[in-house]
């Protein structure tokens, strides 16, 4: 059985004061034992999150890591081994905002995926189509190509300790959510693509849905057979809302 996972991507949000308030709210949540819960703050707040959430079941991840696993001369970057040293257990790789705004390519994010795993972090690989691509009927082709470039670079076995997040770009931060059926269709395609390489890996890998998930739509989304939880942006900045989403994942 795959354990459900809910991860809160705080993106570039937060001040010392708002993060302290959010962490204190998260620390008071009663979370279901059956769900792996994580928060992914801006790197500036990783230490604070790890200190404040110590003793809770909430894991802490990073939004990005360097292409190199080891520390070195690479100004402005953070090595995956440094994230592990800080206490992180996972890292986002290939979020659409990084692909689109920063210009992160498949080649770069494949190196980040490999560096993360070399350090013992679980990469959460984000893939998804734009509205234009969906309207052109290219969703499965685009998502399939994003996934296959990573499989080609790191090998199928790497997915035994990775998570994949399907995040349609048109649903991120827009209030538009993929319907449970639309999301399930893509999740099933992702799992069958992985199954072509290894049925066992495909059965075990967790596929998260991301894109305007809220407490109000989480139950239906998480009820789909190939949706194993969520990557939550905006709604993860409110502890009570995030807690409600985690409880929805526990049902």
User: Which residues are known to be catalytic?
Assistant: 95, 167
Cβ(241)–Cβ(226) below 8 Å: no
Q: Does 125 bind ligand PGA (CB under 6 A)?
A: no
Query: Residues 26, 110, 162, 172: which binds ligand PGA (CB under 6 A)?
Result: 172
- In this chain, which stretch among 64-72, 153-161, 209-217, 240-248 interacts with ligand PGA, using CB under 6 A? 209-217
Q: What would you report as the CA-atom Rg of the chain, rounded to the nearest whole angstrom?
A: 17
C-alpha span between 154 and 214 (Å, rounded): 33
Query: Residues 47-76: x/- map of binding to ligand PGA (CB under 6 A)?
Result: ------------------------------
Assign 7 to helix, strand or coil. strand
| Shortest distance in whole angstroms from residue 234 CB to ligand PGA | 4
Q: Does 234 bind ligand PGA (CB under 6 A)?
A: yes
Q: Does 164 bind ligand PGA (CB under 6 A)?
A: no
Q: Does 212 bind ligand PGA (CB under 6 A)?
A: yes
DSSP-assigned states of every residue in 8-64: EE-TT---HHHHHHHHHHHHT----TTEEEEEE--GGGHHHHHHHTTTSS-EEEES-
Cβ(187)–Cβ(147) below 8 Å: no
Q: How far is CA 102 from CA 50, 99, 116, 174, in A?
A: 27, 6, 19, 20
Q: Does 229 bind ligand PGA (CB under 6 A)?
A: no
Query: Residues 213, 218, 224, 244: which binds ligand PGA (CB under 6 A)?
Result: 213
Which position's Cβ is nearest ligand PGA? 233
Q: Does 9 bind ligand PGA (CB under 6 A)?
A: yes
| Shortest distance in whole angstroms from residue 3 CB to ligand PGA | 20
Q: DSSP letter at 243?
A: H
Query: Residues 46, 62, 147, 232: which binds ligand PGA (CB under 6 A)?
Result: 232
- In this chain, which stretch among 47-55, 137-145, 167-175, 216-224 interacts with ligand PGA, using CB under 6 A? 167-175
* Residues linked to residue 219 through DSSP beta bridges, in sequence order: none
Q: DSSP letter at 157?
A: G
- In this chain, which stretch among 46-54, 63-71, 206-214, 243-251 interacts with ligand PGA, using CB under 6 A? 206-214
C-alpha span between 243 and 247 (Å, rounded): 6
Cβ(129)–Cβ(139) below 8 Å: yes
| Shortest distance in whole angstroms from residue 138 CB to ligand PGA | 21
* Residues linked to residue 7 through DSSP beta bridges, in sequence order: 38, 231
Q: Which positions touch ligand PGA (CB under 6 A)?
A: 9, 167, 172-173, 210-213, 231-235
């Amino acid at each position: 059985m795959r354990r459900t996972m809910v991860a809160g991507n705080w993106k570039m949000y937060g001040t010392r004061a708002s993060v302290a308030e959010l962490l204190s709210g998260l620390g008071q949540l009663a979370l279901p034992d059956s769900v792996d819960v994580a928060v992914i703050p801006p790197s500036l707040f990783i230490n604070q999150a790890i200190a404040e959430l110590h003793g809770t079941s909430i894991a802490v991840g990073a939004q990005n890591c360097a292409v190199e696993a080891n520390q070195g001369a690479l100004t402005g970057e953070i090595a995956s081994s440094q994230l592990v040293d800080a206490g992180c257990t996972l890292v986002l790789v290939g979020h659409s905002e990084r692909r689109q705004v920063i210009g992160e390519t498949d080649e770069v994010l494949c190196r980040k995926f490999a560096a993360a795993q070399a350090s013992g972090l679980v990469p959460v690989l984000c893939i998804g189509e734009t509205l234009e691509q969906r309207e052109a009927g290219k969703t499965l082709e685009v998502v399939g190509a994003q996934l296959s470039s990573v499989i080609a670079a790191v090998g199928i076995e790497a997915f035994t300790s990775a998570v994949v997040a399907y995040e349609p770009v048109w649903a991120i931060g827009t209030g538009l959510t993929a319907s449970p059926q639309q999301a399930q269709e893509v999740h099933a395609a992702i799992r069958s693509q992985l199954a072509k390489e290894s049925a066992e890996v495909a059965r075990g890998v967790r596929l998260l849905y991301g894109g305007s998930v809220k407490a109000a739509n989480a139950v239906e989304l998480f009820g789909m057979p190939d949706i194993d939880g969520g990557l939550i942006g905006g709604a993860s900045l409110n502890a009570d809302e995030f807690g409600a989403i985690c409880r929805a994942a526990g049902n």
